Amino acid sequence: MARKRDTQPLNPVTVHREFFGVPGAVTVMAVTVSVVYIWYFSCNAEAGCQLPLTGARWAHIIAASADYRAYLSLDAIIYYTLWWSWLAMLYFVIPCPVVQGVELRNGHRLQYPINGLSSFLVTLGVALLVYVANGPKPFLWIADHYFQLALASMIFSTSQALFVYLYSFRKSPLQNDSNEPVMLALAGNSGNPLYDFFIGRELNPRIGLLDLKFFNELRPGIMGWVLLNVSFAMKQQARFGFVSNSMWLVIIPQIWYCIDTLLFERKVLTTMDIVTDGFGWMLSFGDLTWVPAMYSLQARYLSFNPVHHSTFLAVLIAAMALGSFLVFRLSNSEKNAFRRNPNDPSVKHLEYITTEAGTKLLVSGWWGMARHINYTGDWLYGLAQCLATGFDTPMTYFFAVYFLVLLIHRNYRDECKCRDKYKKDWVRYCERVPYMFIPHII
Question: How many whole angstroms separate alpha carbon 39 and alpha carbon 48?
Answer: 11
What confidence score (pLDDT) does residue 180 get? Answer: 67
Question: How many whole angstroms separate alpha carbon 31 and alpha carbon 192?
Answer: 21
> Amino acid identity, residue 239?
R
What confidence score (pLDDT) does residue 173 get? Answer: 62
393-403 in b/e burial notation, b at 16+ Cβ within 10 A?
Answer: eebbbbbbebb
Question: How many whole angstroms separate alpha carbon 138 and alpha carbon 228?
Answer: 11
pLDDT at 85 over 50: yes
Question: How many whole angstroms separate alpha carbon 351 and alpha carbon 127?
Answer: 47
What confidence score (pLDDT) does residue 2 get? Answer: 46
- Taking only Cα atoms into account, the Rg of the chain, rounded to an integer number of angstroms, comes to 23
Question: How many whole angstroms separate alpha carbon 274 and alpha carbon 268?
Answer: 7
pLDDT at 6 over 80: no
Give the DSSP letter string of 149-211: HHHHHHHHHHHHHHHHHHHTTSB-TT-SSTTSBPPBPTTS-SS-HHHHHHH-SBSS-EETTEE
pLDDT at 406 over 60: yes
Q: What is the DSSP pairing of strand 352-354 with strand 210-211?
A: unpaired
Q: What is the mean pLDDT of the chain?
A: 93
Given pLDDT bands bounded at 50, 70 and 90, which one contains residue 308? very high
pLDDT at 188 over 90: yes
Percentage with pLDDT > 90 across the chain: 79
Question: 39 Cβ partners below 8 Å, 6+ apart?
Answer: 294, 297, 395, 398
Percentage with pLDDT > 70 across the chain: 96
Question: How many whole angstroms separate alpha carbon 71 and alpha carbon 111?
Answer: 40
The DSSP letter of residue 125 is H
Given pLDDT bands bounded at 50, 70 and 90, which one contains residue 242? very high
Half-sphere CA count of 106, side-chain side, radius 13 A:
22
H/E run at residue 207: strand 206-207
pLDDT tens-digit map of 118-133:
999 999 999 999 999 9
